[in-house]
């Protein structure tokens, strides 16, 4: 029988499979994913990976493979202005130095990350099955029976749903969510510029939401550009020239001429928090448990924290001879992750509401706050350490760079 059946082969499902197999190679781990075999190779996006997550990827033997393509974020600049303003006044900067002498985050192309995870999972003996989805499941005393879109039924001791923010398995488990639609979409694309970015990430708070430029290798930057959904749809479907002109209005000319080098996609943005993370022989991880606004680039990093906590819960229980699918075992994972997730969900929600508007007194207040933080080095280092995810005393071992 399968020990752990993972539904969803995104970053979270794959890194969970690797984390479990690395420390408990005797467990039978099967991963099913709805996407066709090579779909991941078409993902042109990049993600900010915080220092704690890169420590975890290092323990899993993945970081060395992706490091040559990872661009350190050395400096962050935060501005707040109207879209048409000719200059974007800087209110807050985080300079080189990072945390304990290392960058608080790196930008990593998704293809590099998923490619390395898939290779390591296959090398460790994870059975990966593409183009099939989990439709429903039924939990029993000793196993969970999972019905696939192919009609096959797989029995496992534990089913883990990593099937993204619109998780069908979460619904099948009857787990309710707290949901909010921001009416915003995140436009994602890549640009090439004439001059180097010197490892600087910028976040411009504009009336429709944040416009973030994140450094990549070779004079390129990844953009996460928030717009009201109807404007985002117009920009995605519209003419290339209009798109580039609107982009230049926001990006400015400080890095010279810009050229869009990636496709452009828009993702609807919302807040989705699962009320429970577990049910008998069932657990949620990654976006299936929490979808948050990308304002702080922490969505995937929250998923990596789930992975570290869930893998440690499973491996420890297995070493003690406990039933890895029992609620008593899974409760440890839920209590580890639920509060942190809720806190991050609320923080990103408040930040988005505070910064995605053009109300003059609110703007004055937030700019005063940013300026205050900018003049307090100890507060700045506190924020940057928090953002790096390093040093949490109760964090799972993988995040602290320790094997399970
Ligand atoms: C615009 C934008 C920018 C972002 N930038 C960042 C960033 O810089 N840093 C960061 O940390 N996070 C970022 N995020 C968040 C990050 O992309 C997500 O948190 C991350 O993709 C979640 O990974 P996941 O594996 O949980 O889910 P997904 O990536 O959604 O993967 C789900 C997988 O499950 C499969 N699947 C679906 N249903 C089934 C089923 N029933 N059975 C089997 N398989 C199934 C799908 O094919 C897919 O492969 C951003 C998000 C957005 C929208």
- Phi, psi (5° rounding) for residue 279? -150, 175
C-alpha 255 to ligand 1 mean position (Å): 31
Lowest mean pLDDT among 146-150, 307-311, 391-395: 391-395
What is residue 94's predicted lDDT score, i.e. its pLDDT? Answer: 75
Non-local CB neighbours of 28 within 8 Å, separated by 6+ positions:
1, 2, 3, 4, 127
Check pLDDT > 70 for residue 252. yes
Q: Which residues pair with 157 in a beta bridge?
A: none
| Mutation pick for ligand 1 pocket among 34, 110, 186, 263 (CB with most ligand atoms within 8 Å) | 34
β-pairing verdict for 75-80 and 90-94: antiparallel
Q: When comparing pLDDT for 141 and 366, which is higher?
A: 141
158, 281 Cβ separation under 8 angstroms:
yes
Q: Which atom number of ligand 1 is nearest to the Cα of residue 32?
A: 43
The CA distances from residue 155 to 118, 147, 190, 309, 393, in Å, are 23, 9, 43, 24, 37
Q: When comparing pLDDT for 199 and 98, which is higher?
A: 199
pLDDT digits (tens, 9 = 90+) for 8-21: 999 999 999 999 99
Mean pLDDT of the chain: 91
Q: Which atom number of ligand 1 is nearest to the Cα of residue 168?
A: 41
Q: Which atom number of ligand 1 is nearest to the Cα of residue 11?
A: 25
Q: What is the 3-class SS of the chain, one letter each residue?
A: CEEEEEECCCHHHHHHHHHHHHHCCCCCEEEECCCCCCHHHHCCCEEEEEHHHHHHHHHCCCHHHHHHHCEECCEEEEEECCCCCCCCCEEEEECCCCECCECCEEEEEHHHHHHHHHHHHHHCCCEEECCCCEEEEEECCCCEEEEECCCCEEEEEEEEECCCCCCHHHHHCCCCEEEEEEEEEEEEEEEEECCCCCCEEEEEEECCEEEEEEEECCCEEEEEEEEEHHHHHHHHHCCHHHHHHHHHHHHCCCCCCEEECCCCEEEEEEEEEECCCEECCEEECHHHCEECCHHHCCHHHHHHHHHHHHHHHHHHHHHCCCCCCCHHHHHHHHHHHHHHHHHHHHHHHHHHHHHCCCCHHHHHHHHHHHHHHHCCHHHHHHHHHHHHCCCCCCCCHHHHCCCC
Check pLDDT > 90 for residue 62. yes
C-alpha 303 to ligand 1 mean position (Å): 9
Nearest CA to ligand 1 atom 50: 294
Average pLDDT over residues 52-72: 96
Check pLDDT > 80 for residue 391. no
80, 366 Cβ separation under 8 angstroms:
yes
Q: Residue 255 — very low, low, confident or very high, per pLDDT cuts 50/70/90?
A: very high
**Which residues does a 6 A CB cutoff place in the pocket of ligand 1?**
7-13, 32-35, 47-48, 133-134, 162-164, 168-169, 186, 188, 224, 267, 286-287, 294, 297-301, 303
Q: Which residue has the tokens 């992975």?
A: 307
C-alpha 307 to ligand 1 mean position (Å): 14
Q: Which atom number of ligand 1 is nearest to the Cα of residue 50?
A: 11
Nearest CA to ligand 1 atom 11: 300
Check pLDDT > 90 for residue 114. yes
What is residue 86's predicted lDDT score, i.e. its pLDDT? Answer: 67
Query: The whole model's pTM is what?
Result: 0.94
Average pLDDT over residues 30-41: 94
What is residue 98's predicted lDDT score, i.e. its pLDDT? Answer: 72
What is residue 96's predicted lDDT score, i.e. its pLDDT? Answer: 64
What is residue 390's predicted lDDT score, i.e. its pLDDT? Answer: 85
Q: Residue 97 — very low, low, confident or very high, per pLDDT cuts 50/70/90?
A: low
231, 268 Cβ separation under 8 angstroms:
no
4, 330 Cβ separation under 8 angstroms:
no
Q: Residue 387 — very low, low, confident or very high, per pLDDT cuts 50/70/90?
A: confident
Q: Which atom number of ligand 1 is nearest to the Cα of residue 267?
A: 53
Nearest to 169 by CA among 158, 161, 177, 159: 161
Nearest CA to ligand 1 atom 38: 163
Q: When comparing pLDDT for 389 and 397, which is higher?
A: 397
Query: Token pair of 128, please?
Result: 């990966």
Lowest mean pLDDT among 179-193, 298-312, 373-387: 373-387
β-pairing verdict for 282-284 and 153-161: parallel
The CA distances from residue 174 to 42, 49, 119, 303, 335, in Å, are 33, 32, 34, 21, 19
C-alpha 10 to ligand 1 mean position (Å): 6
Nearest CA to ligand 1 atom 15: 299
C-alpha 269 to ligand 1 mean position (Å): 12
C-alpha 33 to ligand 1 mean position (Å): 12
C-alpha 86 to ligand 1 mean position (Å): 36
Longest CA span, the chain: 65
C-alpha 272 to ligand 1 mean position (Å): 13
C-alpha 274 to ligand 1 mean position (Å): 15
d(CA 292, CA 108): 20
pLDDT digits (tens, 9 = 90+) for 136-161: 999 999 999 999 999 999 999 999 99
Q: Residue 360 — very low, low, confident or very high, per pLDDT cuts 50/70/90?
A: confident
Check pLDDT > 80 for residue 284. yes
Q: Residue 352 — very low, low, confident or very high, per pLDDT cuts 50/70/90?
A: confident
The CA distances from residue 136 to 50, 71, 146, 161, 173, in Å, are 34, 41, 6, 11, 9
């Amino acid at each position: 029988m399968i020990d752990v059946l993972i539904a969803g082969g995104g970053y979270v499902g794959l890194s969970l499979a690797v984390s479990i197999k690395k420390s408990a190679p005797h467990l039978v781990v099967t991963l099913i994913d709805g996407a066709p075999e090579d779909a991941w190779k078409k993902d042109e996006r990049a993600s900010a990976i915080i220092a704690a997550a890169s420590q975890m990827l290092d323990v899993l033997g993945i970081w060395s493979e992706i490091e040559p393509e990872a661009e350190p974020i050395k400096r962050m600049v935060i501005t707040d202005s109207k879209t048409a303003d000719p200059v974007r006044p800087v209110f807050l900067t985080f300079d080189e130095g990072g945390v304990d002498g290392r960058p608080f985050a790196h930008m990593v192309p998704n293809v590099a990350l998923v490619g390395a995870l898939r290779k390591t999972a296959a090398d460790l003996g994870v059975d990966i099955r593409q183009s099939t989805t989990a439709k429903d499941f039924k939990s029993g005393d000793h196993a969970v029976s999972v019905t696939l879109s192919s009609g096959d039924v797989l029995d496992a001791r534990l089913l883990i749903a990593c099937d993204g923010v619109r998780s069908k398995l979460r619904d099948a488990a009857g787990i309710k969510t707290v949901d909010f639609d921001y009416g915003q979409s995140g436009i994602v694309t890549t640009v090439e510029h004439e001059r180097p970015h010197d490892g600087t990430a910028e976040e411009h708070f504009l009336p429709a939401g944040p416009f973030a430029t994140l450094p990549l290798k070779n004079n390129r930057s990844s953009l996460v550009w928030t717009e009201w959904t109807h404007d985002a749809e117009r920009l995605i479907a519209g003419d290339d020239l209009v798109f580039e002109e609107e982009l230049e209005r926001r990006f400015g000319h400080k890095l010279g001429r810009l050229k869009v080098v990636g496709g452009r996609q828009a993702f609807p943005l919302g807040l989705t928090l699962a009320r429970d993370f577990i049910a008998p022989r069932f657990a949620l991880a990654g976006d299936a448990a929490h979808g948050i606004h990308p304002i702080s680039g922490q969505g995937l990093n929250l998923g990596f924290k789930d992975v570290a906590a869930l893998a440690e819960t499973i491996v420890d229980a297995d070493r003690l001879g406990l039933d890895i699918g029992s609620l008593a075992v899974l409760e440890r994972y839920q209590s580890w992750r639920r509060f942190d997730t809720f806190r991050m969900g609320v923080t990103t929600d408040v930040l988005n509401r505070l910064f995605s508007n053009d109300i003059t007194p609110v703007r004055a207040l937030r700019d005063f706050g940013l300026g205050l933080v900018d003049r307090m080095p100890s507060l700045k280092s506190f924020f940057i350490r928090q953002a790096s995810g390093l040093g949490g005393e109760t964090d799972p071992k993988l995040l602290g760079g320790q094997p399970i």
